[in-house]
Amino acid sequence: MNYHPDGGQLFYPMDNQPYVVPLAMPGDDLKPDKVTAFWFDGASGLYIHPNVWHEGLFPIENKHRFLDRQGRVHGRVSCDVGEEFGVYLSVPLTLP
Q: Which of 84, 83, 96, 81 is nearest to 38 (CA)?
A: 96
Mean pLDDT for all residues in the chain: 91
Q: Is residue 92 part of a domain?
A: no
Note the pLDDT tens digit of each residue in 38-76. 999 999 999 999 999 999 899 988 888 999 998 777 789
Q: What is the CA radius of gyration of the chain?
A: 14
Domain-located, residue 73: yes
Whether pLDDT at 82 is above 70: yes
DSSP 20-83: EEEEE-SSS---GGG-EEEEE-SSS-EEEPTT-EE---EESSS---EEEEE-S----EE--HHH
Name the DSSP class of 84.
H
The answer to whether residue 61 is domain-embedded is yes
Q: Is residue 16 part of a domain?
A: yes
pLDDT at residue 96, as a whole number: 59
Domain total in the chain:
1
DSSP 8-state assignment for residue 10: E
Residue 91 belongs to some domain of the structure:
no
The CATH number covering residue 12 comes to 2.60.120.480
**Is the pTM of the predicted complex or chain greater than 0.85?**
yes
